[in-house]
Copies of this chain bind each other. A is one copy, B any other.
């Protein structure tokens, strides 16, 4: 590690804090919206919009420190795609990222519960099961991984915050599962008895589906964005040929 990279503890702290804030917004905005509106559409509009905005902002702010993953599958994808070069985290750092993200998500969920005077950590009983929900989680996660890795491969990593926030905001509406698309936040949402919760028994299905989706996204990556070989032509960052073929 050179002096230009933040130390691993600092990166882990950034991932933990960022994921905590993300989970706090997801859970907190759900509670607040349920208290303010009787209309399910208005509630979800608030929940999805606030979550997407927070996600985009947090990725942009913590990106220079830790990458701004907040998601074990994004970290794993960064490890996998960078495993032959110096760009990605190592396998051990990736596991440490996942642990920090998971701890952050649980802490952020507890913070939201606390702010809204609910039990700090109470296990949810809201089952979320069914093949159609698993398909939805796979699609939402696979596209997420594809977008992030594809943008980086094209040299357009600066667009990642907007793309991640925009995609998750859209996917919330486009899927019946709510597009958790994140094993750490899925784990965190076990610990709230509000509408954002998920029962422990539903977690394995969600996480496996997210993992399957991430693998599919990684499989599509070279098909759509080419290989990251040394001979790969660099795509300039300034997007000037965006609309050209």
| Chain A residues engaging chain B, CB cutoff 8 angstroms | 3-6, 10-11, 13-14, 17, 21, 24-25, 28-29, 32-33, 35-47, 49-54, 56-57, 59-69, 75, 78, 82, 87-89, 93, 111-112, 114-117, 132, 135-136, 139, 143, 147-148, 150-152, 154-163, 166-167, 169-176, 220, 223-226, 231, 233, 235, 237-245
Cα–Cα, bound, A212→B53 (Å): 25
Chain B's nearest CB lies how many Å from the CB of A223? Answer: 6
Cα–Cα, bound, A17→B146 (Å): 11
What B residues does A68 contact at CB under 8 A? 242-243
For this chain, the copies found in one complex come to 4
What B residues does A43 contact at CB under 8 A? 36, 41
Q: Is the CB of A46 within 8 A of B46?
A: no
Cα–Cα, bound, A142→B176 (Å): 34
Q: Is the CB of B157 within 8 A of A224?
A: no
Q: Residue on B with the closest CB to A152?
A: B243
Cα–Cα, bound, A108→B10 (Å): 41
Q: Is the CB of B32 within 8 A of A37?
A: no
What B residues does A24 contact at CB under 8 A? 139, 174
Q: Is the CB of A239 within 8 A of B64?
A: yes
Q: Is the CB of B88 within 8 A of A114?
A: no
From the candidates B21, B53, B115, B235, name the one contacting A132 in the complex (CB within 8 A). Answer: B115
Chain B's nearest CB lies how many Å from the CB of A218? Answer: 14
Cα–Cα, bound, A152→B174 (Å): 31
A37-B41, A167-B54 as given contacts; A151 in contact with B32, CB under 8 Å: no
Q: Give 11 pairs: A residue, B residue, CB < 8 Å, sorted on A.
A: A21-B143, A24-B139, A29-B174, A50-B172, A54-B166, A54-B167, A63-B243, A67-B243, A78-B245, A87-B245, A112-B174
From the candidates B13, B33, B117, B233, name the one contacting A41 in the complex (CB within 8 A). Answer: B33
Cα–Cα, bound, A47→B88 (Å): 37
Cα–Cα, bound, A167→B47 (Å): 14
A28-B173, A64-B242, A160-B243 are known; give 9 further A-B pairs, CB within 8 A.
Answer: A11-B245, A17-B224, A32-B173, A42-B42, A50-B169, A57-B147, A66-B245, A117-B132, A158-B238
Chain B's nearest CB lies how many Å from the CB of A107? Answer: 12
Q: Is the CB of B240 within 8 A of A158?
A: yes
What B residues does A162 contact at CB under 8 A? 57, 60
